[in-house]
Structures are given as structure tokens and as C-alpha cells.
Amino acid sequence: MKPQVAFFDFACCEGCQLQIANLEEDIVGLVNVVDVVEFREVLTGTAEKYDVSFIEGSITRPEDEERLKDIRKRSKLLVAYGSCATSGGVNKLKNLNPSLENVQKTVYGKDWNMPHLRTAATKAVDEVVKVDAYIPGCPVNRKEVVEVVKSLVLGHVPALPEYPVCVECKFRENVCLFQKGQVCLGLVTRAGCNAICPSNNSPCEGCRGVMPNPNKNAMHEVLKENNLTVKQIFDMFTMFSADPEVKG
């Protein structure tokens, strides 16, 4: 029997789900190897148990924690899908504000305290339940998604690249943005996106999270040349993961 796969979304932009539709003709191939039993955005229907659940988005309310725990109970494997799920993504910018009340008042003004508007600090999926595999990226890289699904179907836990975006960037023969006077987080960010931002002449913002052992990184020289410390560059990791931590 084909593995039963489901997609669930929590607080996020749903851009990572959209990458499934963006597989275009490849969707047909995907549907041949897995049975998509629940995917609210594209089909009507539900199921009781799942072989693999993909969780998109971050967790911001107690009731969402409960919903996630329930999905976990009914799933053999659970994948954190996209940066919102793997690290909290942009949604964790909320946590940088020392006062949740201020956050709520900024958006809802005098109505901030209405019961249906309550919120909590943003959490990544693995701050609530056990995660078996991670697919980082904001949005996820479609090729990587296909690879991960393939290995899961074959019963392997997929491995993520353990080197920085710089390696992919050099491979694409880009001129380093540091040479153009810009700061780029590709130095310490986990590869896997084929250095898509620097290749479009835009600095890496670190959406895929920190690579393992960034201090052993051969690119360390570039930091020295630019009078930057690893800590300083970590402090720049606020757009996509307010508290950088290696995942996966």
C-alpha cells in the first residue's frame, strides 16, 4: 500500500504548501508514490492515521498546541515543513518584543484583549512535539522536497547539507557580496537552496537556519577580513529565526 501522507498548516503564509502545486507536472509523479489523504488547501476529506504528516507553520496559541499533539499521536512520522515550522521563521520576530501586550495593542488597538484574539509566544514545531525530519527554507526548495519525500517513502530519514550556502554560491561562480560591500549570512547558513539569494544579487538572510559547527567553517576568513565575529553575524539572524539553533 502507498504511504498515507497528510499536510497541515498552522500560523504561516502557506507559501510552502504552494510549492507542492508549483511542482506542476511532477505532482502526478508524487501522487503515484504516495496517497495524499488530507490536505485542506487542495482537497476535501480527512483521515484517521497518517504514515507521514507534513506540518507547515509555527505554533502561537494553546489550542494549536493541542491540535498539533493530536496530529502527532496519529502520525508515524512527522516532518517540520518550511522555516515557520523548523525554526518559527518570521513569526518569531514577535518574540523579540518584550511585551506581548504591546504586540497585541499595536495590531488590535483598544480591542486587543478580546478572547478570540489571544496569542502566546511563537514556537517552532519541535518546541511542542517530537519531529522526525526537517525541511527548512522560506519557502522550501521544491527539489529538496521531492528528495525528502523519496527518502521517506524508502524508509530513510533524509540528511540535510552540513555546509554553508557559500559552497553553493562559489559553485555558481557568483561574485561574493562582501566584495561589493554587503553583508551576507550565507557564511553561516545551512546550504540546500542552491544559494538562490546571492545568485540574484541579494544577500542571504539565513532563512534555512544556522549550519552545524559554524565556527569550523572554512569561510571564517571572510568574517575576519570584514571584522565580523561569528556572534555578530548570528545577531543578524533575526529575520527568520530569532534564536538561531541548529535543526535536523
Partner 1 sequence: MSDKSMHIHVHHVTRVEGHGNIDVVVDNDVIKKIEWQVPEAPRFFEAMVVGRDYMDLAPITSRICGICSIGHTFASLKATEAAMGITLSEQDTRLREILLHGETLQSHVLHAGYLAVPDYFRVNSVVPLVGTHKEAVLLIIKLHRLANELCDIIGGRTTHPIRTTVGGWTMLPTEKELVTLKKRYEEAVEDLKAVAGVVLSVAGKIPNFTRETEYISLTSPSEYAFYDGMIKSSDVKAPIPVSNYRTVVNEYVNPQSTAKWTKFNRESYAASALARYNNNYAQLSPLSKTVASMFGLGAAACHNPYMNTVAQVVESVYAVERTIANIDWILDKGLKYVKPDIKVKAGKGASAVEVPRGILFHEYEYDKNGKCLMANCVIPTNQNHGNIQKDFEKLVPEFKHVGKEELQFMLEMLVRAYDPCISCSTH
Binding-site partner at residue 61 among ligand SF4, partner 1, none, CB < 5 to 8 Å by type = partner 1
Of the candidate spans 35-43, 60-68, 110-118, 196-204, the one that interacts with ligand SF4 by CB under 6 A turns out to be 196-204
For residue 139, whether the previous peptide bond is cis, meaning omega lies within 30 degrees of 0, is: yes
What is the total count of residues that contact partner 1 (CB under 8 A)?
55
The single residue listed with the C-alpha cell 476529506 is 45
Q: What DSSP character marks residue 110?
A: G
Residues numbered 11 to 70 that lie near ligand SF4 (CB under 6 A) are 12-16, 56
Cα torsion at 76, 82, 85, 91 (round to 10°)? -170
Of the candidate spans 16-24, 126-134, 143-151, 208-216, the one that interacts with partner 1 by CB under 8 A turns out to be 16-24
Of the candidate spans 18-26, 68-76, 149-157, 209-217, the one that interacts with partner 1 by CB under 8 A turns out to be 18-26
Say whether residue 29 binds partner 1 (CB under 8 A): no
Of 131, 128, 11, the C-alpha closest to 68 is 128
Contact assessment for residue 91 and residue 15, using Cβ atoms and an 8 Å cutoff: no
Strand, helix or coil for residue 140: strand
Q: Which positions lie near ligand SF4, rule CB under 6 A?
A: 12-16, 56, 82-84, 89-90, 138-139, 165-166, 169-170, 174, 176-178, 184, 186-187, 189, 193, 195-198, 204-208
